Amino acid sequence: MTNIKIIAEIGWNHLGNMDLAEKMIVSASKSGAQICKFQSWSVKNLKKGPWDSDGRLEIYNKAELSFEDHVKLIKICKSNSVDFMTSIFNSESIDMLKELNIDFVKIPSHENYNSELVVNIMNNFSSALISTGASKWTEIEQHINYFKKGNLIPMHCVSSYPCNSENINLPKISELRKISNKVGYSGHLQTIDDAIAAISLGCSYIEKHFTIDKSLPGRDNQFAILPEDLKNLSNFRDTFEKMNINKGSDFQESEIDIIENYRGRWGG
C-alpha cells in the first residue's frame, strides 16, 4: 500500500454526464490514482457575478451534482477500487456528505479564507485537505495552528490555470512542512513535472486535474493531464517509494559479487 496518494481531480470535467464521469473514474483507476475527486456545490447559493454572462453559469448548472449523482459516483469509485472525494464550497453541503458517510473532504483555494466554513468542516469530518492557493500565509498558518491534531492537511497550490513553471514556488512546500506533519500538492502545470518534484519533496497527497479528452468543454479539461500522464506519474511514485526503502548504511546483498570478485583485483 502506497504512502503517497495520487488524486485525480475530475472536478466538473464530466459536465453532469454520469456516463462520462464513470469513464473518467475507470480510466483514473487503471492509470494508478487512489482517489477520484469531484466538486459539490448548489447553484442556488451562487452570488451574482461575471460568471452569469461569461459561460461559467451554464457549466455550473450542467455540472451540479445531485444527491443521487453523489450516490452513483461513490458506488462507481468503490467498484473501481478508488476512494471518492469532493470539494466543499459552502456549509450547506456538509449534511448531505455526512449522510453519504463521507469523512474526508477538500476545502478549495477560493474558500480557504472562510474560517466559518473551515471550522464547520473540521467539526463534521475526521480530516480534510485545504488548498493554499491565492491565500495569505497568515490565513493558512492560522487554520493549521488551530487544528493541532494534524487532521487539516495543507496542499501547496498556485491558483493559476494553467500555471507556468516559474510560478510553481516549490520552496513553499518546505515552509508548510514546518507547520504541518503532512503536506500535499495540488498542481496546475500542464505536465506532470511539478507533481514529480512534489513527490520528491515529501508530499503525501498529489493532485492533478484529470480528463480523458482535452477537447471537452471548459478550461479545466484543456489543462488537465491525460491517462498516459497519470500512469507515468503513478509509475514514478511507485519507483520513488522503492528507492526510499531504507537498506541501512552498510553494503547490500546485491553488492556481494563486487566485494568478492572485484575488490583488490588491481593490486596495490
Q: What is the percent of the chain where pLDDT is above 70? A: 99
192-222 pLDDT, tens digit per residue, is 999 999 999 999 999 999 999 999 988 899 9
pLDDT more than 90, % of the chain: 85
Structure confidence by residue, pLDDT tens digits, 109-118: 999 999 999 9
Rounded to whole angstroms, the Cα distance separating 85 from 98 reads 12
The span from the CA of 87 to the CA of 105, in Å, is 6
Supply the pTM of this predicted model: 0.95
Within-domain flag for 215: yes
Q: Show the domain range for 201.
A: 5-261
Is the pLDDT at 26 greater than 90, yes or no?
A: yes
Q: Rounded mean pLDDT of 3-28?
A: 97
Residue 268 falls inside a structural domain: no
Q: How many structural domains does the chain have? A: 1
Give me Rg for the CA atoms of the chain: 21
Burial of 17 (0-12, 13-18, 19+ CB in 10 A): middle
pLDDT on residue 101: 96
Contacts with 237 (C-beta within 8 Å, 6 or more apart), sequence order? 2, 4, 6, 32, 199, 206
Asked which of 50-59, 86-95, 126-135 is least confident by mean pLDDT, the reply is 50-59
Cell of 205: 497527497
| Domain containing residue 215: CATH number | 3.20.20.70
H/E stretch holding 131: strand 127-131
151-191: pLDDT as tens digits: 999 999 999 999 999 999 999 999 999 999 999 999 999 99
Q: What are 241's three cell numbers?
A: 517509494
Note whether residue 266 is domain-resident: no
Mean pLDDT of the chain: 94
